[in-house]
Structure 1
Amino acid sequence: MLEFALPNPHALAVMVLIVVALILFARDSIPLETTSLVVIVALTVGFTLFPFHTERETIQASDFFLGFGHKALVAVCALMILGEGLIRTGALEPVGRFLARLWRRGPAISLLFTLLTTATLSAFINNTPIVVLMLPILIGIGMRTGVSPTGTLIPMGFASILGGMATTIGTSTNLLVVNVAADMGMDNFNMFDFLGPAAIGAGAAILYLWLVVPRMIPERQPPMQDTRSRLYTAQIRIDENSPVVGNTLAEAMERTDENIRVDTVQRGKGAYINPLPDVVLMAGDRITTSDTQANLREFSRVLGGTLFSGDHEVDALHPLSIEGEQLAELVVTPASRLANVRVGDAQLRSRYGVRLLALHRFEEAQERKSPGLDNIQLRSGDVLLVQSTADKLRALKETTDFLILDGSIRLPSKAKAPIALSTIIGVVLLAALNIMPIEISAILGCLVLLVTRCLRWKDAMNALSAQVILIIVSSLAMGAALLKTGGADYLAQLFVYITFGAPPAVVLGGLMLMMGILTNIVSNNAAAVIGTPIAIGIAQRLGMPLEPFVLAVLFGANLSFATPMAYQTNLLIMNAGGYKFGDFVRVGLPLAIGLWLVLTTVLVWAYGM
């Protein structure tokens, strides 16, 4: 049996911090940015107050800020901006149009082609914009054909994750693993070095997603499709015999159980009074409000008033009208500026020109309807049923805050799309041919997009995610602390101790399985950065090649299929398609287990273990 001493106090403290961080990462009630900042502060303050000395160096607390300038973070940010350029210029829209035409001819072969296209694009572009492109197309096809998109959305989303596993730039997770391993002295992976095992695993997985998954998931109804409660703006004129004459506005609102929202109070021609609670109502006053037809009529009855639309009393000849407006479903994107913002503070009407009718969140059985949503904090993946004009909804496609699920809105075609597409191809080729590292070619690509005005600086800044940046920096800081204090070596030694006597193939499979479990519970970036030094330590202690163990971490950290929280695109798909939590477990768990077995087998065979 192996023997080893307990870790030093600094290593033990770092391991405790990592466990706490992983627990906090898994809690929805605490923003990931907050947990990341807690980690950075704890490490820097802790190592300032309690310095750690080795025979060769003293760890400087400021070293934990180096993640902000790490080449992996630079590459991730630059690739996010490049992806934004593809969206802004509509460079990927021809792919969407082609798929939409293909689906009219044969759904079965079209699904296969959609999966292959999604996976291929995701190998070179962040998969979030790919999913953002595909979702409205697939939902729009479902709306036009009357067939629920249930059988297509999860396979498409999972195909984007599979494609991201294939290259060093496919996901931020891959970039982090490759760069952390290089920082530890391992030879750098080239862009397509692990394409072979990834393609074998993805090939088997896509067959499963194409042939099996559509038959596994019960038919679901997208969350808002049955909701048709349009909002109408109207005025309620207070009649002379109304029971609220002489009452304050607050007292009048109590009669409606506080359900009425008063926009303005008009007194006389062109005279308006601020709708303060202590305003005393008089006969002839007109209260302007917006609500459903049924509620407006009920408010009019309760307040003893007459309902007006424009200059006419509402009757059979002059019904309530909202000509030119339509309903649409919007999804809050991971990059949205409105994530974690209260609905009441989001200014949806003034900023975006939309009226909120209802909100759907995946953990709630039914959608919640407006009014009564002001105190709800918006989250990535929330589906909003809104009402607006077609022009305003088209304008929303120019923002990164929402994904429009209304498949009837025409896809844009812009003149600068060829420039954006050529730029991303150039970035990939420069890195693939080893002419320059990906972080440098990607930065060059960003400059090209900005100089050619494919992107404005505002668009580029909006493409960056504070959440992603802070998670990467905190993960790099935890990984560095674990490595420099000897914690990574201790955990590797512990893993070897637990698996003592087992063949290297079993150790490799156990490492990938551990990472696969971890990535479905916490941030996959955090799991990857923490797991990489441990994997290298295990390989060194076993006297085995480093590459298969590092790839075990990389592949394991990408097995984000078993829960909707495991990956940000899973949440987008879950809400948009009306899926249940169990649908992801039913489909994703067999996929994760199957991929784990296939990839472990391929790595063992490829490296002769």
Structure 2
Amino acid sequence: MTGNSPLLAVLGLLLITVILFIRNKPRMDAVALLVLLVLPLSGLLDLPSTLAGFSDPNVLLIAALFVIGDGLVRTGIAYRLGDWLVARAGNSEVRLLVLLMLAVAGLGSVMSSTGVVAIFIPVVLGVANRLQIAPARLMMPLAFAGLISGMLSLVATPVNLVVQGELRRAGLEGFGFFSITPLGLAVLALGIAYMLLCRRFLAAGNPAQRQPAGRLTHSALARRYLLDQRERRLQVRADSPLVRQALNELELRQDYGINVIAVERQQRFRTLLLVAHGNTLLEPGDVLLVDIASPAIGLLDSYAQLGLQPLPLEHAYYSLHAHELGLAEVALPPESQLPGKTIQELGFRSRHQLNVVGLRRHGQPLQGVLVDERLKPSDTLLVTGSWKAIHRLQQQSRDFLVLSLPAEVDEVAPAARKAPYALLSLAVMVALMVSGLVPNVLAALIGCLLMGAFRCIDLDSAYRAIHWPTLILIIGMLPFAQALQQTGGIDLAVQALVGLFGSASPPLILACLFLLTATIGLFISNTATAVLMAPVAIACAQALQASPLPFAMTVCLAASAAFMTPISSPVNTLVLGPGQYRFADFVRLGVPFTLLVMLLCVLLVPRLLPF
């Protein structure tokens, strides 16, 4: 390639990548992997430069922070914070909004903002019902606080770490752990004041769809979906044809309307509860905890045919076995691909080790055999299974959103007794990062190892906690910055900015940089935006013979300011359904707030980080 051909090729590839990101077909992480393939094969970048992201310390740091966040969830700290919020808010909507935004922003400064928002959605729904206010008045403040949390510490979001890494590659010292914190606190204060003034403009929502007050219990969820009318205990006789058969081979639900939820198996000294899976083998004497399709179905002949003996049910088994058998309400987020499919096609039992035992549509529970029911976007499902499987489902925010976890979840947090040790591990990590005694990545690894040593988290959970698509996205986008640098793309962008505003004051250039970054963030992820804009900001500062720090900080703030549309960030998408928002609701409140944040940034950044 000669002349401008390499630059045009890189820009063309970048444009195709952005278009694929917008379409989300294929997935963004798959597109990132394709980039890693195309760049070296096309000769635009050599192989070591293309794969340099795999050895980037920030990638390992981000992975470690996912593990730290999961440790806070497994030890129940995140849920206890939600309960504290409920207790402190009382009956005041203003107090609730302020405490909610403070709590979400604070927790999000040390763990994934998406995870924090997902945790708080059921809390907010319950409190909104108790205070008799529309959830829409609280869901957008929840999302905005999650986004602002990325502005409160260096490790709060991958965006900051990407920009920090670019500063280090440019030979600069970079930011301290709390360099961004004063700016983030100012934006948080602005956000709280803005939401207190503007929450009345949010959609009123549908009061009929509000959630029951407080944290639901197993019993309340069971009544809500009419499970208490369908619970049965059946013992497998020695002559039963079901003996030594796997559940997925018996098709009891399709043929008899019998859904096996769990199995009580008598051991030498105790009764063992086995949560039912497709490959569960039945033994003589097993007691099946089942959900029947309808209480009106006469099943005595079926019981005799199957060799099952009905047993008395003195207590609801969902409450009796709450420590091992979980319940959760699940909704379908806007980007879910599942509406139109049947419950049978979802394969919950085989894919997620969970049973669908209830379905509500337009606020009313459906009865009968549900396996052939086609899902609609507004449906909520009730699933049951092990708590471990339910927590795994929480991480699959693309197709599922866990709306309500019953109060019993606090009692079955896998490492609830280790909460003090999780806080200690977190404090050690933050102290090491603040002090600078070791690099941030080593501090995060020390925090992970401490959580493992204290058994706040195990290795299997740690690997599951890491959001691999995010890491692959960062690794795949990092070579673009190098390719643009080598082909002159960065210089071209800087010349355009400086040429247009070179005679203007640096704050005006900061405003333009903020707007450009925020606009790009409307179409691609904020992490990918930071990867592209950080080198432009640094080169622009160098062209103006100014300090790169205020320019780089502007990119950090602008990339996290994804307030303008419900698809700007996964955080916004999560609250779209529970808040019953329209696209225009985010535009109406998000665009003015983004402009206010830009103004605040232009005023404060030069004062904290002089040119």
Q: TM-score, normalised by structure 1?
A: 0.75
What's the CA shift string for 1:486-532, capped at 9, x where partnerless? 22112211222233543322222111101011112211111101101
Partner of 1:348: 348
Matched residues in 1 for 2:404 and 2:88: separation?
Answer: 19
Contact 1:491 1:534 in 2 (8 A): yes
Residue 342 of structure 1 deviates from its aligned partner by 10
Task: Give the partner amino acid of 1:508.
Answer: L
Task: Give the partner amino acid of 2:347.
Answer: Q
Identity %: 24
Task: Give the partner amino acid of 1:423.
Answer: S
The verdict on how the C-alpha distance between 1:358 and 1:67 changes in structure 2, with shifts beyond 3 A counting, is farther
Partner of 2:40: 44
1:437 aligns with 2:439: yes
Residue 540 of structure 1 deviates from its aligned partner by 1.6
The verdict on how the C-alpha distance between 1:510 and 1:374 changes in structure 2, with shifts beyond 3 A counting, is same
What's the CA shift string for 1:261-298, capped at 9, x where partnerless? xxxxxxx995899999xxxxxxxxx942379xxx989x
What's the CA shift string for 1:156-185, capped at 9, x where partnerless? 221121122122111111111111121122
Count of aligned residue pairs for this structure pair: 522
Residue 482 of structure 1 deviates from its aligned partner by 1.4
Partner of 1:210: 196
Within 5 Å, which residues of 2 pair with 1:100-139? 100-139=86-125
1:289 aligns with 2:283: no
Residue 233 of structure 1 deviates from its aligned partner by 7.6
Contact 2:541 2:548 in 1 (8 A): yes
Matched residues in 2 for 1:564 and 1:200: separation?
Answer: 24
Matched residues in 1 for 2:53 and 2:380: separation?
Answer: 36
| Cα RMSD after superposing both structures | 4.2
Matched residues in 1 for 2:65 and 2:378: separation?
Answer: 25
Partner of 1:537: 539
Contact 1:72 1:175 in 2 (8 A): yes
The verdict on how the C-alpha distance between 1:567 and 1:359 changes in structure 2, with shifts beyond 3 A counting, is farther
Matched residues in 1 for 2:452 and 2:419: separation?
Answer: 13
1:589 aligns with 2:591: yes
Partner of 1:459: 461
1:189 aligns with 2:187: no
Q: TM-score, normalised by structure 2?
A: 0.75
Within 5 Å, which residues of 2 pair with 1:192-341? 192-220=178-206, 270=241, 287-289=255-257, 307-310=297-300, 328-330=328-330
Residue 71 of structure 1 deviates from its aligned partner by 0.8
The verdict on how the C-alpha distance between 1:598 and 1:355 changes in structure 2, with shifts beyond 3 A counting, is same
Matched residues in 2 for 1:312 and 1:594: separation?
Answer: 68
Larger Rg: 1
Partner of 1:396: 390
The verdict on how the C-alpha distance between 1:342 and 1:418 changes in structure 2, with shifts beyond 3 A counting, is farther
Partner of 1:27: 23
Equivalent residue of 1:386, what SS? strand
Consecutive unaligned residues in structure 1, runs of 5 or more: 1-5, 53-58, 235-267, 277-285, 298-305, 314-320, 361-368
Partner of 1:84: 70
Contact 1:333 1:401 in 2 (8 A): no
1:571 aligns with 2:576: no
Equivalent residue of 1:329, what SS? strand
Contact 1:213 1:587 in 2 (8 A): no
Contact 2:144 2:191 in 1 (8 A): no
Contact 1:7 1:486 in 2 (8 A): no
Contact 1:100 1:141 in 2 (8 A): yes
Matched residues in 1 for 2:579 and 2:467: separation?
Answer: 25
Task: Give the partner amino acid of 2:526.
Answer: N
Task: Give the partner amino acid of 2:554.
Answer: A
Partner of 1:148: 134
Partner of 2:418: 416
Equivalent residue of 1:436, what SS? coil
The verdict on how the C-alpha distance between 1:405 and 1:296 changes in structure 2, with shifts beyond 3 A counting, is closer
Partner of 1:17: 13
1:406 aligns with 2:404: yes
Residue 325 of structure 1 deviates from its aligned partner by 6.2
Partner of 1:547: 549
Matched residues in 1 for 2:452 and 2:342: separation?
Answer: 33
Consecutive unaligned residues in structure 2, runs of 5 or more: 213-220, 232-238, 249-253, 260-291, 304-312, 320-326, 362-368
Deviates more, 1:502-511 or 1:162-171: 502-511
Equivalent residue of 1:128, what SS? helix
Within 5 Å, which residues of 2 pair with 1:362-373? none
The verdict on how the C-alpha distance between 1:477 and 1:233 changes in structure 2, with shifts beyond 3 A counting, is farther
Task: Give the partner amino acid of 1:354.
Answer: N
